[in-house]
């Protein structure tokens, strides 16, 4: 699917619009790492990979509720 494409845009990942519990933080990270790893593997296995790869994980306004600790 990416062989011969002009570029690759990856916007995959779990939404960050959630309380940042340890489980949610792990899922957010894992969703991005696994998707990027799969795309990297695909790019290495084709004859004519795209010359451009754009990666964006999220657009988020920071400022969780004061009662929630964000680390």
Q: Give the confidence band of 55 by pLDDT, cuts at 50, 70, 90.
A: very high
Q: What is the DSSP letter of 9?
A: E
What is the rounded distance in angstroms from the CA atom of residue 34 to the CA atom of residue 13? 9
Q: Residue 61: give the domain boundaries.
A: 1-71
- Total count of domains within the chain: 1
pLDDT digits (tens, 9 = 90+) for 11-44: 989 988 788 889 988 999 999 999 999 999 999 9
Q: How far is CA 46 from CA 9, 17, 19, 31, in A?
A: 17, 35, 39, 23
C-alpha to C-alpha distance for 15 and 28, rounded to whole angstroms: 7
CA dist list (Å): 1 to 8, 29, 69 = 10, 25, 42
Tell me what pLDDT residue 62 has: 64
């Amino acid at each position: 699917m990416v062989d011969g494409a002009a570029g690759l845009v990856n916007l995959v990942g779990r939404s960050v619009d959630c309380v940042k519990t340890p489980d949610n933080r792990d899922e957010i990270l894992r969703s991005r790492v696994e998707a990027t790893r799969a795309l990297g593997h695909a790019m290495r296995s084709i004859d004519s990979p795209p010359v451009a790869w754009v990666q964006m994980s999220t657009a988020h306004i920071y400022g969780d509720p004061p009662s929630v600790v964000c680390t």
